[in-house]
Structure 1
Amino acid sequence: MASRPQSFGQAEINWDKLDKTKFYVVGAGLFTGLTVALYPVSVVKTRLQVASKDSIERNAFSIVRGILKTDGIPGLYRGFGTVITGAIPARIIFLTALETTKVSAFKIVEPFKLSEPSEAAIANGLAGMTASIFAQAVFVPIDLVSQKLMVQGYSGYATYNGGLDVARKILKAEGIRGLYRGFGLSVMTYSPSSAVWWASYGSSQRFIWSKILGYETEQNKERDPSLMTIVLVQATGGIFAGAVASCITTPLDTIKTRLQVFFFFLCTLKFYPFKVEAVLV
């Protein structure tokens, strides 16, 4: 997974040369750490997405104040246990599909003799999209359950006794397909987003290495960059990729969240007289 420029042969580490144990342990550990740090943001974002027009909490700061006032710090981590339990296997599936697909994708684009940024964009984009599709099979039910926990008791939404209670009520009200409410829209949202993120991440790093830091020149080809330089290039690529992908993800993610949460809300209150199993799947 190293991101050094191809000029000194370390841009990509082949799947067959990866230390799988370290790869999964480190990957899962980093993912868990990031989830802990960013989870409150997801809670606030979800509440903003489902907030009604008449809600008094119309911005992130008012939602945070409301959560801290009623539930304290634990309120910012509602549904966290469910997310971690399900997200780790989903992450393993994602990483496996990403790395194996990336190897094949680079082999496919190599004969076209494209520039390094273009090759990285295509190969990483294909890998990111494929990995996201596989991961959604696990992620969608977890995402759905966690969203119910995030908004429980908020603006009239039901209260639950943990993730298992949410799953049980979904299954009782809608069956197994209820756990995959929004699967189609999730694939439409996250697969292109993942493709754009990984394409932007890979190509932006190649561009920085070659065009900005000059590693495409003869005198710099054999020069090893410092660890700090590698980290800064990766961080810059990640920030750029996140900004680009968010432009695609946010509108569709808002629609998906509202549909997932609101349909189940109506179902449990028996407000609608028709079945909507096929609306989103």
Structure 2
Amino acid sequence: MATSDFVLGGLASVGATFFTNPIEVIKTRIQLQGELAARGTYVEPYKGIVQAFVTVAKNDGMLGLQKGLAPALCFQFIINSFRLSIYSTAVEKRWMHNKQGEISYGLGLMWGAIGGVVGSYCSSPFFLIKTQLQSQAAKQIAVGFQHEHSSMSDALRQIWQKNGIVGLWRGSVAALPRAAVGSGAQIATFGKTKSLLQEYDLVTQPSCNSFCAGLIAGSIMSVAITPPDVITTRLYNQGVDAQGRGLLYKGWLDCFLKIFKAEGVYGMYKGFWANYLRIAPHSTLVLLFFDELIAVREKYDLHY
């Protein structure tokens, strides 16, 4: 895997995260409200995306919409460095092509999932802290367990002191299905869609081709990733006892069963539209930025 692709993948995601972090804050809050409660039996401080934006801005201030930005940037840089560099390497080495020389959707799923799993595990501490910081809110609109972190560095220090390195990687294994499903769907759809748009002369201009393929890939990804994303958010945000064990959930399967039993299918798709509005543009921007940065690098290489 090329070192430059690793760095470019990370930079592409950092650029996109500045724009999409506010909707990530909204998505996290919606996924946590009414935790393990039947629909209609709890107060909903967040009743819709627009109303949620206004509610957060009113109670937490405008900066409240950028809560968890620092760990979000670290998380996105690490996970996408691995995901996109593995994807780029797989394309260049033709590991994603079938015997006819065409990009295979199945192989794209496999390589996308591999990249997602590797990146997700390595970046897990930052996803953990991002989730806990994003859930922090004024008392009147607080949902989920409220962790007392003042910053990313404070969160790292507190978790390390209480539970050591195990605490920093708590929930990392449970997050792997989310990464595998989401990354696999996104990478496979992006590569295949780019190829089809060019093959049928629908969108051939490079930047437009990347933009359209990224938008379609993000749409597919949002449908696939929402249920495991809800589970991951709940696992990462739950409080822990003195031994570092979760207060509500024992693990991925236990979390899934409890959500499904208490909240039904609706619970598994909480925050879907917020997730869609975050993932679709984020995916589009990340993949577009990545392709543009690759093009700049190749142009530079040709001149020098």
1:185 to 1:132, Cα distance in 2 relative to 1, 3 A: same
Q: Is the 8 A contact 2:185 2:217 kept in 1?
A: yes
Q: Is the 8 A contact 2:113 2:181 kept in 1?
A: yes
Q: Which moved more, 1:168-177 or 1:72-81?
A: 168-177
Residue 114 of structure 2 corresponds to residue 130 of structure 1: yes
1:39 to 1:173, Cα distance in 2 relative to 1, 3 A: same
1:107 to 1:62, Cα distance in 2 relative to 1, 3 A: closer
Letter in 1 for 2:26: V
Identify which of structures 1 and 2 has the higher relative contact order when contacts are C-alpha pairs closer than 8 Å and 6+ apart: 2
1:70 to 1:56, Cα distance in 2 relative to 1, 3 A: closer
Deviation at 1:280, TM superposition (A): 4.3
Partner of 2:181: 192
Letter in 2 for 1:113: Q
Deviation at 1:172, TM superposition (A): 4.2
Deviation at 1:234, TM superposition (A): 1.7
1:209 to 1:98, Cα distance in 2 relative to 1, 3 A: closer
Of 267, 274, 278, the match for 2:241 = 267
- After superposition, residues 7-46 of structure 1 pair within 5 angstroms as 21=4, 23=5, 26-46=8-28
1:58 to 1:275, Cα distance in 2 relative to 1, 3 A: closer
Q: Is the 8 A contact 1:101 1:126 kept in 2?
A: no
Deviation at 1:251, TM superposition (A): 1.3
Letter in 2 for 1:140: S
Aligned equivalents of 1:134 and 1:65: distance in 2? 37
Deviation at 1:100, TM superposition (A): 2.7
TM normalised by structure 2 equals 0.68
Partner of 2:56: 67
Aligned equivalents of 2:61 and 2:188: distance in 1? 39
1:132 to 1:92, Cα distance in 2 relative to 1, 3 A: same
Kindly tell me the number of residue pairs found equivalent between the two proteins.
Answer: 241
Aligned equivalents of 2:229 and 2:96: distance in 1? 32
Deviation at 1:200, TM superposition (A): 0.9
Aligned equivalents of 1:200 and 1:274: distance in 2? 35
Partner of 1:232: 208
Of 174, 199, 206, the match for 2:195 = 206
Deviation at 1:32, TM superposition (A): 1.6
Residue 131 of structure 2 corresponds to residue 147 of structure 1: yes
Residues 77-122 of structure 1: CA deviation (Å, up to 9, x unaligned):
1111122234324433333333334445x34754x326x2xx3423
1:175 to 1:275, Cα distance in 2 relative to 1, 3 A: farther
Aligned equivalents of 1:205 and 1:257: distance in 2? 31
Deviation at 1:43, TM superposition (A): 0.6
Aligned equivalents of 2:121 and 2:15: distance in 1? 23
Residue 100 of structure 2 corresponds to residue 113 of structure 1: yes
Residue 223 of structure 2 corresponds to residue 247 of structure 1: yes
Partner of 2:287: none
Residues 128-181 of structure 1: CA deviation (Å, up to 9, x unaligned):
111111111222110110111111132362332111222333334444323223
Residues 240-275 of structure 1: CA deviation (Å, up to 9, x unaligned):
11111111101110121112212x2x538x9x9988
Residue 44 of structure 2 corresponds to residue 55 of structure 1: yes
Letter in 1 for 2:241: C
Letter in 2 for 1:279: G
SS at match of 2:175: helix
Aligned equivalents of 2:152 and 2:232: distance in 1? 20
Aligned equivalents of 2:245 and 2:171: distance in 1? 20
Report percent identity of matched pairs: 20
Q: Which moved more, 1:44-53 or 1:167-176?
A: 167-176
Partner of 2:232: 256
Aligned equivalents of 1:159 and 1:49: distance in 2? 20
Q: Is the 8 A contact 1:83 1:146 kept in 2?
A: yes
Unmatched tracts of structure 2, length 5 or more: 35-41, 254-304
Letter in 2 for 1:261: N
Aligned equivalents of 1:79 and 1:199: distance in 2? 29
